[in-house]
Amino acid sequence: MKVFAYSLRPYDELGYLDALSHELGFEYGWTEDYPTTANAGLAAGADGVCVITSPLTRELLGAWRDLGVRGVATRSIGYDHIDLAAARELGMRVAHASYPPDGVADYTVMLTLMALRKVKLVQRHAAAQDFTLEGKIGRALGSCTVGVVGTGAIGACVVRRLRGFGCRVLAYDPAPCAGLATYVSLPELLAESDVVTLHAPGLPENRHMIGAAELARMREGAVLVNAARGSLVDTAALLDALESGHLGGAALDTIEHESNLYYLDRGLDVLPNRDRAALMALPNVIVTPHMAFYTAEDVEGMVRSNVEALVAFASGEATPHEVR
């Protein structure tokens, strides 16, 4: 059995992949390059391919299928970058990653604290040797009502952490978890929360679940945190809410239209993403490069779950990582 990994990072993921090849007994090939139809041939002879969050189109999947590839796994929980309909038509099984929720949960709390304490503004001023206090007063997290949208593994982990700060926690999820939090409707959560943090999946039906109407329902001065998927938030509407002063700030680890930006060095490029530039320019908005997952534990979990899924696909077995 052979796996071919695209966009593999040699400084962290490669070591885990190599160790797993000895543990589970498979061959592998790899490249740092993102998959395209031009380099699809690199996967020749592989039973499955492993990717990160780059678009997998019908054309690309078809090219792999013609080479004998029967399974695709993405090193991410989200899989909205994969044309699932095309994969099914081509007879290709698809898997996504699983990893401990703690890394993203910790990062979410960190972003929340940074937004409430205006860390971006403080750091900007300190770099210019402006050590004044005016305009930099923050809020204690424990004094806030925090609304958690989506209480799967990561959202539930965030709720448990927030309890330690003494927050009042509200939650919204179509499938409530008994005993976890006080569940309310999404409009009620938005209206009553000082901080709203998103942990919903990036499904088509969730696109722009936070749009102009939802942002208008949020409290004056509230903070929006998104360490889930960029598609959940209508960026244009968010910019309007921030520029009008209705929102007090935002902390975003993921935004719309971030494909082909992360995790590359684009320091010399003119980026075709005006929304990102506008968000980055605001002193009350934190934008980080989709790295809430980036802990040793989570990276190992991503690679392991992908490989285990591809091994299962090759042997015709079931796997809990399969996207159905």
The residues carrying an active-site annotation are 229, 258, 290
Choose among 43, 26, 74: nearest CA to 315. Answer: 26
Q: Which residues contact 175 (CB under 8 A, 6 or more apart)?
A: none
- CB distance 103 to 297 below 8 Å: yes
Q: Which residues, in sequence order, are bridge partners of residue 48?
A: 3, 71
Rg of the Cα trace of the chain?
21
Return d(Cα 17, Cα 29) in angstroms, integer: 10
- CB distance 242 to 218 below 8 Å: no
Give first-to-last CA distance, the chain, whole Å.
23
Return d(Cα 196, Cα 252) in angstroms, integer: 12
Alpha-carbon distances of 191 from 131, 196, 219, 221, rounded to whole Å: 35, 10, 6, 12
In sequence order, which ranges of the chain are alpha helices (DSSP H)?
Answer: 13-24, 58-66, 84-89, 102-116, 119-127, 153-165, 186-192, 212-217, 235-243, 274-281, 296-314
